[in-house]
Structure 1
């Protein structure tokens, strides 16, 4: 007679039912350990990406993910994050996030190089080659004109509650293009949606925008200083309809604030006589200091202060980030992750995109040994004679038996697990998924392909299908009984 599936296998396998062993992490191809630890922002980001993916492509196959999230405990938000992280690890979105970050760093490096080259170009355009006198206000317009226009545009967009930024959007676009990962399609939209709900998008993009301009203007100032230190420039102002008093007023108004910071300010007489090129060394030095001071005060300094403000608000806002549990995608998970009652016998429809079953193993050693069978014929006598210390988990026929055993193995994982299968049955997707999940709950796993009953022969083609399927799971299998291995750990 066949013995029914039981729940006291661990007691017979050598470790107590009351053992306070915590559930151990596992490593497999379907749930690889992240190569780098994920920050709180990364976990929220991946959770939002999984929500968007399920909205666009339909619900994912998440039976094991939900079971592990429920076993981990915590409130609903923590369980949703645990479920999403497991799915992201299984489906490759954790690796896609790492690829996206690499693309983001490369895009940031390209923007840094562009900013440095652009700043140097502004300085060369402002001063020229030194063969002609420098028109002061044309030089000032070359250095600060585009900066002031983009700063005005950013302030206008900010006041209207938007986050439009050419530099920021360029960085996001480049990050996605350089990631080159199909699984990263939902990462950028998920990040923007998550940040917009807390109003952090404009602060995050503001850090990028002001940081880029800070580099550009810093590069312009350095090149400007080098050119003024190594070349001889003459400075003039030119006009047709304005008088010299207008230039005196404008020059002193612009130079008043830089003068407070220690930069030179030409006197009124020097300004009036600068309608033609001056040969006096003092006048050239005064105009050089004025040009550097105005560029620093009205160019680099505002970008530095605004960049620090955006960075402060960004860091402050990150601590308030969280999941919006009112979203439909999260509300639907409440019953599965915090059920008010357990519903049995409900099977989800097959997903549009099938997930390849994979094997795996625990990273830590378990205790004892266990034998379990999957869907055996009633006419086959079971269990066989077991060595001392080897537990019998019975035959798994129903979904309830499978979930009960998986929950037990999650709390008391065995060191060695033998899974007996009848190779006369086809290795269907559900059976392979169960074998892979059992393997991920034990330190070592072997699959026992049972011999045919007397008078029958195994189908060689079906047996070959089993061998190929178990090879994809990366699990060892044997035709003979693995009793010696279960008892001693070796053949």
Structure 2
């Protein structure tokens, strides 16, 4: 689910850059391009901040989307049930906002970096002319807006167009190479400062709060859901004394004879428990092959019986147990 969201963010960022610049056949309206690159990002950023401060609706909607994607891409039922349980625990500790905040801002950071990369690639391989247009506003409004938006990028080294360049950009016929480069640097700087950096800082802040809260996360064992588990795993009282009385005779497992070099009678037991003492009192003419409780002991008995077949064979088993296929096959081989 997380990989799918990351791929979607990268594709969306590339689509924003291509929609802002176009195919290069027509001049680019700088403010329309700026709105295409940063409009949706800033609107959702403001809504996320308001939801974080007030009701957390944005985080709740993204949480439902995350649960839906986790349910669709889960490999088994247990994995699908872990996501709702995890979000419930995080919500009780108020960590869901920081976990989802890291996810939201991280995805938008990927989208902005994708848009920046594709925009630089398009500007490096195509020739774009930049203009601004208006019907009811004066040129001074666009000059002031351009210079105001370019103040902070200018601190980082992104120089913008001069006032003369801005006023001359109403017509592409007067657009020189220096003017085009100045507008390109300004547009890249505005995208970095108002698109990439806010998401980077918020993602880092949410990540820090998430790690800090995760390390201090503890389960509230006083909740009703944990009461039964607590009593079973950590009982408040425990009975002292002997739970099970020792039997009069301990059960000893004998491996039986290593070499059944006899043609007389043979007795063997199959998976007897400690309630049946073994071996019973036997005359000297009867050999004890022990208790067969493993595949190796069964195979060894069959090999020895092949070499020294007994005249008679007695097999002891527990009548209270249902015979399995292995026991039936062993009896048939004997």
| 1:187 pairs with one of 82, 88, 108 | 82
Which structure would you say has the larger RCO, counting Cα contacts within 8 Å and 6 or more residues apart? 1
Map 1:229-308; keep pairs closer than 5 Å. 229-277=124-172, 278-308=174-204
Q: Which residue of 1 aligns with 2:220?
A: 324
Could you report, residue by residue, the CA deviation over 1:143-173 in whole angstroms, capped at 9, with x for unpaired residues?
0111011111111110015263455543432
1:116 paired with 2:13, answer no
Shift of 1:338: 3.1
How many residue pairs were aligned? 280
Distance 1:220 1:167, change over 3 A: farther
Q: Which residue of 2 aligns with 1:451?
A: 316
Q: d(CA) in 2 for partners of 1:156 and 1:477?
A: 73
Distance 1:149 1:445, change over 3 A: farther
Q: Which residue of 2 aligns with 1:152?
A: 46
| TM-score for the superposition, normalised by structure 1 | 0.51
| 1:341 pairs with one of 238, 263, 282 | 238
| 2:117 pairs with one of 222, 230, 239 | 222
Could you report, residue by residue, the CA deviation over 1:336-372 in whole angstroms, capped at 9, with x for unpaired residues?
333313399xxxxxxxxxxxxxxxxxxxxxxxx7589
Q: d(CA) in 2 for partners of 1:445 and 1:202?
A: 61
Q: Which residue of 1 aligns with 2:303?
A: none
Structure 2: which 5+ runs fail to align? 242-251, 255-270, 282-289, 299-313
Moved over 6 A (4+): 417-420, 475-479
Larger Rg: 2
1:206 paired with 2:206, answer no
Q: d(CA) in 2 for partners of 1:192 and 1:445?
A: 52
Q: d(CA) in 2 for partners of 1:279 and 1:185?
A: 58
Q: d(CA) in 2 for partners of 1:450 and 1:338?
A: 46
Conservation of the 8 A alpha-carbon contact between 1:270 and 1:283: yes
Q: d(CA) in 1 for partners of 2:90 and 2:231?
A: 27
Shift of 1:209: 1.0
Distance 1:333 1:182, change over 3 A: closer
Q: Which residue of 2 aligns with 1:130?
A: 24
User: Helix, strand or coil: the match of 1:466?
Assistant: coil
Conservation of the 8 A alpha-carbon contact between 1:168 and 1:208: no
Q: d(CA) in 1 for partners of 2:36 and 2:164?
A: 26
User: Helix, strand or coil: the match of 1:242?
Assistant: coil
Distance 1:316 1:418, change over 3 A: farther
RMSD: 3.4
